[in-house]
Structure formats: C-alpha cells, structure tokens
Chains A and B, each alone.
Chain A
Amino acid sequence: MSSRGAASSSGGPQLGTSESSKRISKKPKYSRFTQQELPACKPILTPGWVIATFIAVGIIFIPIGLASLFASQRVVEIVHRYDEECVPPIFSGNQLAYIQSSITNKTCTKNFTVPKRMKGPVYVYYQLDNFYQNHRRYVKSRSDKQLRSKAGELDTSTCKPEATTGNNSPIVPCGLIAWSLFNDTYGFSMKNKVLDVSKKNIAWKSDQEHKFGSDVYPKNFQSGGLIGGAKLNASIPLSEQEDLIVWMRTAALPTFRKLYGKIETDLEANDEITVVIQNNYNTYSFGGRKRLVLSTTSWIGGKNDFLGIAYLTVGGFCMFLAIGFILLYVIKPRPLGDPAFLSWNRNPSGIMN
C-alpha cells in the first residue's frame, strides 16, 4: 500500500523515482550465498572416474580379502559337539529326563587331538545353537541397577518371572538371563597332566568395573523350585563372577559362543587332550546344541572365511565391472556434454508439443 500511496501523492514519474531512492531500498544484498553461487565442485560420473573407482575398489579389496582369508586359515580351531554324545545310551530316548534328574551321572570324558600347533593363549569357548539370547522376553529380564550396586537390590521390577522368592525377598542377580547361567564345566588334561584353564580376564573390564558392583553378592539365587542353570558362590561379589558377566553380555545371534577360559600354554600338533565335561546345562528341552571350541586367534578374530571370500568376490566383481566399462567405453562412447544429444536437438518437433 505504501508504494501506491507514494506514487499518487508524488507529482510525476521524475518525482517518484527520486522519492523511491530516498526510501530504504529493499533490494536484497548481493552475496554469493544468497545468490546460491558459492564456489562448488561439481563431480560428474565420467567413464574415467567410474573405471578408476572400480579399479581402486578392486585393488583395495582383493589384498584385504587375501589377507583375511589367509589369517582365517591360520587360525586353528577345534570344535566338538558333545550334547548328544554325553547322554548315556540308555537315556537316548529321553534326554530330558536324563538332564533333569539330579541323580544321573553328568560327567562325560572326551578325547581329541590337536591338528596343528596352537599358539597360546588358546581360547576355550562353549557354543550354543538355537538359543535365542536375543529373545525380547529374555533380553529385558535383568536389572542393571541391582547388578551395579547394593542400593538397587530391591529393584527387580524388570526381572519377572525370576524377580523374588516366594516370600518376596529379592533374588540377586535377578532375571531370566542370570537364572539361565550356563553351568557345564570343562576340565582339560594332557598326558595326565592338568591343563590350567584361566578363568580370569574373560569378561570385559568395563563391565567388571562399572556394571557389576563389587558390593553386590548373590542372594536367594537359584533357590526356587526351578533351577535354570549355574549356582553362584554367595561370598564372591558379582564383579568377580566373570562367567556371569560373560553370560550376561547377551549374544546377538541365536548361534553364539561364549568365552569359557584361556589356556595360556601352547598346544603342539597331535597332542592328545582329554576333556572332562560336566554336562549339566539343559538344552535338550528346546533342541539346542552344545559345542566345545578351542581356538587360537588372529587379527581377524576367530576362524571365519566369510569376510575373506566376500572381499575377494567384491574386489573381483569390481575389477570385472571396470573391464566391462572399459570395453563399453571403447565400443560405444558418447561425447560428454554434446548438445546434439539434447532431446529437442534430436527431434526438433519435440519443442512444439
């Protein structure tokens, strides 16, 4: 409205312009930002760049693949499934009855030979199959507050159905995870000499220091009618219960390993190892499998060829693509930015409609 009023009050066009210059000009200030003219680089997928990229990916991936495959191959791994074998033949029809019974002999002795030299430390794992540690019901069933400090002992609301005993005193540690603590034990011996399995430092330091309190002692644990797994020594604080800590780092996938301990000595090839397994843990009720794993380690971790193969495949595929693109480029090049290819230059009538 102001512009209109000014125009009519001013005498004529000449006056109008002089007046408008007196008014504050609304002309936007020029800056490269507001005019969207910031310096910029405009990459374009030219054949050269694309081919170079693929060759680069190939060059990086193939050696990585080879290296990790090599590393994985160097890892010596002994995997031994024992859940079936350790059930006496008479119970083979009714494994559940065997494992649930308190009177049956759960001890089971196995021998195996070391195929290759295993440089210490040799890691001892137990591997469970078909065990959904990532089940929502399971994952939630813990109380971090209770684990961390004595003050949180009563905080068991998230732990159901393993929260309190019948007379409402809290279970420490509460929850399904702790309740189902793995309780098979392994005793290793070689040439009748006991092989020490170090159970120290198998859990994360961070967990021991900050998640599991040194003043929290097990209480009412596994005292109910249903025994889920291992019992805990009530005189050792949770921060020292490394098996529990390892167990409570719930696994991501239904097939998982947990560190049982470390054998600090080297194992030579063809060494006969005897392992005495206390087969206590009930996986029979849901068809879970149990394995004992002895493994060395490398920079890539445990034995897993997948990454190496994947890298080799991707690298090879990229090389192949690069070659393909080079051929395509040689056979059927298109000049970049040639206006002759613009749609309206290809068919002039295209403009009209």
Chain B
Amino acid sequence: MVLLSTSDPTGVAYVQTVNLDGESNLKTRYAKQETLLKMSEKEKVIGLIKCEKPNRNIYGFHANMEVDGRRLSLGPSNIILRGCELKNTEWGIGVAVYAGRETKAMLNNSGAPSKRSRLETHMNIEIIILSLFLVALCTVVSACALAWLLRHKNELNYLPYYRKKDLVGKDYNYYGVGLEILFTFLMSVIVFQIMIPISLYISMELVRVGQAYFMIRDTEMYDEASNSRFQCRSLNINEDLGQIKYVFSDKTGTLTENKMEFQRVSIWGVDYSGAKSQIEPVGYSVQVEGKVIKPKMNVKTDPELLQLSERRNDTKEGRHVYDFFLALAACNTIVPLVTDTSDPTVKMIDYQGESPDEQALVYAAAAYGFMLIERTSGYIVIDIQGERQRFNVLGLHEFDSDRKRMSVILGCPDKSVKVFVKGADSSMFGVIDKSLNKNILHATESHLHDYSSLGLRTLVVGMRQLSASEFEQWHSSFEEASTAVIGRAALLRKVASAVENNLCILGASAIEDKLQQGVPEAIESLRIAGIKVWVLTGDKQETAISIGYSSRLLTSKMTQIIINNNSKESCRKSLEDAIVMSKKLTTVAGVTDNTGGSSEASPTPVALIIDGTSLVYILDSELEEQLFQLASKCSVVLCCRVAPLQKAGIVALVKNRTADMTLAIGDGANDVSMIQMADVGIGISGQEGRQAVMASDFSMGQFRFLVPLLLVHGHWNYQRMGYMILYNFYRNAVMVFVLFWFVLFTAFTLTTAINEWSSMLYSIIYTSVPTIVVGILDKDLSRKTLLKYPQLYGAGQRHECYNTKLFWLTMVDTIWQSVAIFFIPLLAYWGSSIDISSLGDLWILAVVILVNLHLAIDVIRWNWTTHAAIWGSIIATFICVTVIDALPFLIGYWAIFHVAKTATFWLCLLACVIVGLIPRFVVKYLYQYYSPCDVQIAREAEKFGNLREVGDVQIEMNAILGPQRR
C-alpha cells in the first residue's frame, strides 16, 4: 500500500514488521508531501501509480506516481506492506498496489510441504529391495513347481497325494500347467507377504509416539520463563534429529532475547564499567503532576556514575556526564509512549523506536535521570533529575548507512545551540577534532576496543556548540536541502556532514544485544558435533556480525568474507574472488600443516557474510552453485537483511545440493517458510507470536534446548529407529525364509508347517513388543556422555546405524539364521515319524526364540521393561503355541504336548538358536573389539569409568554445560 497521508501532520507512520522480517522495532514510513498536502485539504487526489510487478523482495520497491502532472518517485519507505502493524499512528490512508496473493507477505509464503524422515525414505528403498526378494522367491517357487509338474505330468492322476481326476473322471481343481503356475505364484505371494514388513510402519509410529513422549517429558527441555514444554508437532521425523548437518538459525528472538541492554559506558575517557559493584536495577522514577512516571525497563546502573550524574554541573566530570546523557536522551528518533498501569498513580513510559539500540540508550539515560518524556516534531521534553526541560529540535539528520551516524541540533533552554552526534566509531573518529584532548581520545579508543572484543555494540557520542553564525549558515542550507525536489537525500547528507565535524568527544556507550541463555555454549557444542550453524537474520550487517562475535559463532581468528553487492555482475565477481580466497586460505593452512608437522595449525576458518540484496541476485540463478561452493568451504555463514523466502531459498540451496540434513530454527512469522523448507523445522515459542510454532515440526522454549534435542534425543531416536528398522526387516525375513525352505520340500506347493494362526500372530504378539520397547527405551549412551562428547553426534551424520551395507549384512545373517533354524530340525527328523504340526511348532518356537535372543544380544541397556518384553514375548509365544495346539479343530491338535516330551525337540531348539546366533555374535564381537566406533568406545568408557581421566578440553566443556543443566 502506498501511503498517501497519515494521522501525523508530517506524514510519518510508524510500523512494526514483526510478521515480515521478525524485527520488532519500529520503522518509519512516509507519505509523500504532495499527497499529504492534498489529503489534508480534503481534495481529491487523482494520479497514476506505476509500480514494478509483484515480487518477493520485502526491502525493495520501485514505483512512481504521477500527481498533477508531476512525477514522484516512490521507494520502500513509502509503502506499508501487508502484515505490518501501525504503531503510534492513528490512521494512514493509502492506495493498495498489491493485493491478495500478490502481496509481498503472501509471495513469501511457501506451502507447507509434507515431510518424511530421511531414514524412512531410505527404508522405502530397502523395502523395494525386499519386494524384489519376494518376487524372486515367488518366481523360484513357481519355476520349481513348473518343473515338478512337467516332470510328473503323466503321473498326476496316480499320485495318491495329487489325484488330478475326481470320481467321474473330470479334472478336479486342475486347470492346466499355466494356470497352476499362476496360482502357485499368487499363493506364494500370499504366504511370503510378511517379507514386506507392514507391521513395521505401525511399530515405527508407536515408537515415535514413545520417543515424543520422552522428549516432551524431558525436564531439561522445559522453559521456565515461558512455562512451555518441548512440543512434538509432527511425528514423522523424530529420527532425523540425529542426522542434522546444517542448522539455520534466525537471530532475533532465537539467538538473542531481542532485548538490548546498556552495559558499559566511557565518558570523557573514564570507563564506568559497573562491573566492580553492579547493583540490582533500581527503577528510576519521576513524579509529574502527582503521578509517578517510570520507564518500562530498568537498567543496571553504576553507582559511581549515578552519583556523578546526580551532581550535574557541579564538577567538570559532572558536566561531561550531563552532556553525554543529554546526547543519549536527545539524539535519537525514539517516541516515548506513556501507558497506564494497574496502579493509577504510576505511569509507565515505553520507548518505541526503529532501533533497539536507541531504545536501550534512552532507557539507560532515563535510569541515570535523563528521562525523555515527550517528543513532537518541534521539541522534546526531557526530565533531568526531576526537572522538566524543553529542548527545541532545530534539526535532525537521520542515520544513514553512508555516514553511519546521526545528529540532532538542539536549542537548549539557555539559548545555546548544540549539535549532538552519535554514530559508529569508524565514522565518528573521522569527524572528531583530534587536536582536542588527545588523551581522552586515546582512552576512549582503547575502551571501545575492549567493548567490542566483549561482543558489545559500541556507539561514540560527540558534541559541539554551534555559534550563531554557524547555526544560521546551517539553517539556511538545511532549509534549502529539505525542500529540494531532486537529490534531496544527497543534499541533506552534505548539509549533515558540514555540521558534523570538529566535534568534541563525549564518550562511548556499549550495548549488549542480550543473547538467550546458553546460546554461545550451545553453538559451541553444535560446532563440535560437526553441525554447521548458519545464521539468517533480517538484521543489519553490523548487528549480525556483532551477534556473531558474542555468540562465539565468529572468532577473531576467522577470516571474514563479506559479500555486499548491488548487481548480478558484481556478485559474480565477488563470489569468484571469495572462492579463490577461501581456497587459498584453506590450502595455505594445509601447507603449513604439512611442513609444520604439528597438528596445531588447523586451517584458518573462513566466515562468509552475505546480505539480502546480494542474495536477490544470487538465488535462483546460476550463481547459486558458486555460492554453495563457497559456503561449503566456510565454517560459518551469516546472512543478513534476508527476506523470509530468501531464508527458505538458502535452506533449499543446501538441501538440494547435499544429502545432508538441514534444520531450521526460528521464532517469528518470517521464519515460517524456512522452517517448512528445512528437513526439520523448529519453532521457538517465544514472544513473536505463534506462526513459527504452528509451522514447525518441533517447538521449544529456548535455543539452547537444541543441544539436548539434537545431541541426546536426536542421537537416541536415530540409533533406536535405525536399529528397529533393520531388526524388523530381519525378523520378518527370517520367518519368510523358514517358510520358503519348507516349500522346497513340499513339491513346491506352499504348504506351511507353521500353522496360519502362528504365522499371523508372529508379527503381532510373538515378536512385536520387544522391538517397540527397545525402540522406545534403549539408550546406547547416557545423556551425560553425549553432552560431554558432542562429536558422538557424528554417528548419525555418518549414517552409522542404518545404511545399505548394514542392510545387506543383516540379510546375509538372516539367511544364515533361517538355514540354521530350518535345516537342523530337518536333518534331525529326516525319515522319522514326525508329523507336520509338531515340526511346525518346533520351527515357530525356534524362530521366535532366536529372533528375540538376537534382539537381546543387541540391547544395550537392560532395564526391567526390556526384560519383561523379551522374556515375556518368548513365554507368550509358548503359551500361544500351546493354546493353538489345544484347539481340537486344527490339524495340529495336541502336537506340542507330544513333541515337547521328546528330548530331540529340545536339543533341536537349543542347537537352532545357538548355531543361528554364533556368526552374528562373533562378527559383532570382532567388530566391536578391533574396529570400534566412537559410540562403542564411549560406551565402554561409560561402563568402566575412564571418562574422568579424559583431556582438559572436555572437562572445560562440561563446566560450561553444568550450570545450564540446572
């Protein structure tokens, strides 16, 4: 919507774009002066707006408007997008240019894709292989049956067990060889169909429900602040949590709490770092007309500085402090909002503004007694130590990214005119009068260095008193510039830079963008676990980088590659340069690694920082490939100023080019498309509404829960699920093979020795419970070990628990076990008077015992539930077999009682089980002992308690993780 006019006489509208880019600060939008004037005069506005086609870029808009024959250019600051909320502005009138599905917000929405876990996708391939097995078995049976029929073609009627013809001499139930073979094939499909483990899907669902239950119940993933538990919103992808390779994280609200905190200040070369004796925040308040006004947020104050500020102009120091805080309170675009509270005598003052930094600064100034109470376009009212003072705002030069500073020209009550400037240190030192107070300058510089190395955001404040002539000169040029039609911004910039010079430095402030609890540690853990963390934020580049530092994503050792371009060509060029550079860096490091001989010189990590405008040109073009190459070389990637769909685009970039799993975590509506795009989407149930949670697969209260979620639950889920799938394949295949071998001895006619009831109950009662219990409850490693060695997470990334090799090994083992089960009784009973039901009972019992013992060998943690499930299943099988054999209408009536009286039966059973298990046992032991995987070693270490002697690094890690566990 193009703004035409607003409730503000100057045509300003404040909007909040939480739903679009996740930033909760206020942004200003302007109506064009021309339309504003017309609207206020209640005239009709007739004009024509020409704008670009609907697109997804929420930070760009190009259009022009013809009103009264004049052509006005419209930019992103003239439109209000769908999803924005007006704040501090009563109304706004505009012309809708994009509507319905063509709004930028809608275009940034991608439909929710259905997600399927990687393991399951993989499993489906294996199921296809199993189907081929099944077809092969059926074909073999049919072919053999064909051969048999052809060989006995002439005997069929004499065979006492076949007898083709009935009494009348007609063929009974015989339709020629061809059809007989077809029937055989179909029948074999029916008999062998348990090869395809349909029950596996059901077991998987049950296991996932169980896993979800434990994840939800985990006390360490409960967020007390928001009183929210972990939530599993989709049950399909629990095990994917164990295989994540890339984490895409939103910044605001995810990594940070979206709260700026004023931390330290350096005034006139003195560092008031409050660190010495931090006192609890005391709400500063003033009384106005019998009402107490309190700032909404309390700031920690330094008592020394507080004293100084209270004394005001008495001392030289006090004078500087006064100026400094006045600058903080005045030099901004904050709008104070007075709100009522439950107590009628107390009013809250809430500072709203575009930049959270400014908010923090104003709150800080308020805490030191410089409370901004009112702002209009002409003046501001500041309550200084309980005394209301009115300052005329003579001019305001807004922050722009070229100057990197803003200034305000104030007419003070004592009629002096002062210009206050605040800005980034790099730009400020250029305009500060270096001749003045070199020591102070130097001291401030060193303080700034300290602050920024702590990951704090710094701002330098300067000031100058303007003489009357200077003011006049500025005033005239300012007037001229602000009414200029063409190139107004450039002119204003020029005017601003003219007045912003020869400043006298006042000091510097340091603000902490408060990270959520445990974020740096969490990122560290994830990095050790081999997970690449990418931060995608709608924030400014500088902010993103400083957050990168404070969250330990970036370190001073890293080389930063910044890509910040405005055209496709320059993007291409800088990408190419960057690739060359990253190659050089990594190879150079490699060379030193070789020559140095010591493993200390690890390759210089490269950090890539890229902004949204560059991404516009890169995504969806052939440059994507290059970006991916570059990004995969970098250990850290920061993307700033990205639109929601670009976030999804970046996720897709990685997802489509690698087989690695991606996880996206975010909290706002702007993260929805990213969450939906990634293999696993996690929503933070924070302050920014519920859209992210609604779209996510899992939701939780804090970013740091990602560590227990991935490293602990993800690892467990993956290991359990991987094992369960393999085991289910094995379990059903053993049964099928036993049936198959028997078919070979029945003239290929698909008689089953094992009665139908038992075959049916096989995957329902005999063997299902233990796999589900183990799938839910087995743990390969304890939580402590997994958190201590994040590297163990690599097991999932390397697909250690479920891969094609393991599948084939399992199949070989399956065939061996089925051979053992089938042929030992066959040979023992060959030519004996055993009847079909007794032998069937022996086989089914052998299969069930073997299959359960096989599971028992692989169970890592035996607790009472596991014992109950495994031994219970075996006992249940005995009971079922007995009950089935006690039914007089079945042919196997009483067979088990007869056969169980013989010693041969028990000897066969024992031999089957032992012979079946020996190869697996041997291979498992040799593998575990002589080429152990990390998980195995950690298990042993856990058991034998060697962990305490482990290197220092891990102990340090643990100390960090300790308090977070509470």
Assess whether B903 is in contact with A228, with CB atoms less than 8 Å apart: no
Q: From residue 221 to 254 of chain A, which have CB atoms closer than 8 A to chain B?
A: 224-226, 228-229, 249-254
Please give, as numbers and ranges, the residues of chain B lying within 8 Å of A286 by CB-CB distance.
Answer: 152, 155, 158-160
Number of B residues near A (Cβ < 8 Å) is 121
Question: How far apart are the CA atoms of A147 and B937 in the complex, in Å?
Answer: 64
Q: Does B789 contact A (CB under 8 A)?
A: yes
Q: Does A271 contact B (CB under 8 A)?
A: no
Q: From residue 3 to 24 of chain A, which have CB atoms closer than 8 A to chain B?
A: 3-4, 7, 11-12, 20, 23
Nearest CB on B from A42, distance (A): 5
Question: How far apart are the CA atoms of A256 and B751 in the complex, in Å?
Answer: 16
Q: From residue 308 to 348 of chain A, which have CB atoms closer than 8 A to chain B?
A: 310-311, 314, 317-318, 321, 325, 332, 334, 336-339, 341-345, 347-348
Residue in B closest to A30 when the chains form the complex, CB atoms: B219
Assess whether B934 is in contact with A351, with CB atoms less than 8 Å apart: no
Please give, as numbers and ranges, the residues of chain A lying within 8 Å of B749 by CB-CB distance.
Answer: 132, 135-137
Contact status of A253 and B341, CB under 8 A, knowing A134-B751, A204-B898 = no
Nearest CB on B from A125, distance (A): 7
Q: Mark B512-531, 1 if CB is under 8 A from A, else 0.
A: 00000000000000001010
Question: How far apart are the CA atoms of A61 and B907 in the complex, in Å?
Answer: 10
Q: Does A41 contact B (CB under 8 A)?
A: yes
Contact status of A314 and B915, CB under 8 A, knowing A207-B894, A257-B832, A285-B155 = yes
Assess whether B946 is in contact with A134, with CB atoms less than 8 Å apart: no
Please give, as numbers and ranges, the residues of chain B lying within 8 Å of A257 by CB-CB distance.
Answer: 831-833
Assess whether A252 is in contact with B159, with CB atoms less than 8 Å apart: no
Q: Mark A120-149, 1 if CB is under 8 A from B, else 0.
A: 000001010001111111110010110010
Nearest CB on B from A345, distance (A): 8
Contact status of A36 and B214, CB under 8 A, knowing A301-B903, A301-B904, A337-B937 = yes
Contact status of A28 and B218, CB under 8 A, knowing A40-B862, A311-B907, A339-B950 = yes
Residue in A closest to B897 when the chains form the complex, CB atoms: A206
Q: Which residue of the partner chain, among A27, A334, A352, contacts B219 with CB atoms under 8 Å? A: A27
Q: Does B468 contact A (CB under 8 A)?
A: no
Nearest CB on A from B587, distance (A): 14
Please give, as numbers and ranges, the residues of chain B lying within 8 Å of A90 by CB-CB distance.
Answer: none
Q: Does B687 contact A (CB under 8 A)?
A: yes
Assess whether A342 is in contact with B789, with CB atoms less than 8 Å apart: yes
Q: Does B296 contact A (CB under 8 A)?
A: yes
Please give, as numbers and ranges, the residues of chain B lying within 8 Å of A53 by CB-CB distance.
Answer: 921
Number of A residues near B (Cβ < 8 Å) is 110
Residue in B closest to A43 when the chains form the complex, CB atoms: B862
Q: Does B951 contact A (CB under 8 A)?
A: yes
Q: Which residue of the partner chain, among B217, B228, B861, B944, contacts A34 with CB atoms under 8 Å? A: B217
Q: Does B807 contact A (CB under 8 A)?
A: no
Q: Does A162 contact B (CB under 8 A)?
A: yes
Question: How far apart are the CA atoms of A318 and B928 in the complex, in Å?
Answer: 19
Residue in B closest to A348 when the chains form the complex, CB atoms: B599
Residue in B closest to A96 when the chains form the complex, CB atoms: B158
Contact status of A206 and B161, CB under 8 A, knowing A35-B219, A285-B155 = no
Q: Does B929 contact A (CB under 8 A)?
A: yes
Q: Which residue of the partner chain, among B602, B716, B860, contacts A349 with CB atoms under 8 Å? A: B602
Residue in A closest to B826 when the chains form the complex, CB atoms: A253
Question: How far apart are the CA atoms of A228 and B165 in the complex, in Å?
Answer: 13
Please give, as numbers and ranges, the residues of chain B lying within 8 Å of A344 by CB-CB distance.
Answer: 791, 934
Please give, as numbers and ranges, the residues of chain A lying within 8 Å of B342 by CB-CB distance.
Answer: 11
Please give, as numbers and ranges, the residues of chain A lying within 8 Å of B58 by CB-CB distance.
Answer: none
Please give, as numbers and ranges, the residues of chain A lying within 8 Å of B898 by CB-CB distance.
Answer: 204, 206
Q: From residue 26 to 69 of chain A, which have CB atoms closer than 8 A to chain B?
A: 26-28, 30, 34-36, 38-45, 47, 50, 53, 57, 61, 64, 68
Q: Does B863 contact A (CB under 8 A)?
A: yes
Question: How far apart are the CA atoms of A25 and B504 in the complex, in Å?
Answer: 54
Assess whether B914 is in contact with A127, with CB atoms less than 8 Å apart: no
Q: Which residue of the partner chain, among A45, A211, A251, A252, contacts B840 with CB atoms under 8 Å? A: A252
Assess whether B911 is in contact with A352, with CB atoms less than 8 Å apart: no
Q: Does A262 contact B (CB under 8 A)?
A: no
Please give, as numbers and ranges, the residues of chain A lying within 8 Å of B949 by CB-CB distance.
Answer: 339
Assess whether B835 is in contact with A249, with CB atoms less than 8 Å apart: yes
Q: Which residue of the partner chain, among B298, B834, B903, B930, contacts A251 with CB atoms under 8 Å? A: B834
Q: Does A86 contact B (CB under 8 A)?
A: no
Q: Does B168 contact A (CB under 8 A)?
A: yes
Q: From residue 857 to 901 of chain B, which have CB atoms closer than 8 A to chain A?
A: 860-866, 888-891, 893-894, 897-898
Nearest CB on A from B863, distance (A): 4
Q: From residue 282 to 305 of chain A, which have CB atoms closer than 8 A to chain B?
A: 282, 285-286, 299-302, 304
Q: Does A111 contact B (CB under 8 A)?
A: no
Q: Does A160 contact B (CB under 8 A)?
A: yes
Please give, as numbers and ranges, the residues of chain A lying within 8 Å of B946 by CB-CB distance.
Answer: 337-339
Please give, as numbers and ranges, the residues of chain B lying within 8 Å of A299 by CB-CB distance.
Answer: 903
Q: Does A93 contact B (CB under 8 A)?
A: no
User: Which of A7, A35, A40 lies at the interface centre, i.e. has the most chain B CB atoms within 10 A of its CB?
Assistant: A40
Question: How far apart are the CA atoms of A242 and B670 in the complex, in Å?
Answer: 84
Assess whether A226 is in contact with B167, with CB atoms less than 8 Å apart: yes
Assess whether B929 is in contact with A45, with CB atoms less than 8 Å apart: yes
Assess whether B929 is in contact with A47, with CB atoms less than 8 Å apart: yes
Please give, as numbers and ranges, the residues of chain B lying within 8 Å of A133 by CB-CB distance.
Answer: 161, 836
Assess whether A253 is in contact with B745, with CB atoms less than 8 Å apart: yes
Q: Mark B212-223, 1 if CB is under 8 A from A, else 0.
A: 011011110010
Residue in A closest to B888 when the chains form the complex, CB atoms: A210
Question: How far apart are the CA atoms of A162 and B750 in the complex, in Å?
Answer: 22
Q: Does B908 contact A (CB under 8 A)?
A: yes
Nearest CB on B from A296, distance (A): 14
Please give, as numbers and ranges, the residues of chain A lying within 8 Å of B219 by CB-CB distance.
Answer: 27-28, 30, 35
Assess whether A134 is in contact with B216, with CB atoms less than 8 Å apart: no
Q: Which residue of the partner chain, among A20, A39, A161, A301, contacts B167 with CB atoms under 8 Å? A: A161
Q: Does B924 contact A (CB under 8 A)?
A: yes
List 11 other contacts, CB 8 Å, given A11-B341, A310-B824: A26-B227, A38-B777, A40-B861, A133-B161, A134-B836, A136-B749, A228-B160, A285-B159, A307-B907, A334-B929, A342-B934
User: What are some 7 contacts across the A-B interface (CB < 8 A)?
Assistant: A40-B866, A135-B162, A137-B173, A137-B749, A139-B751, A211-B893, A304-B832
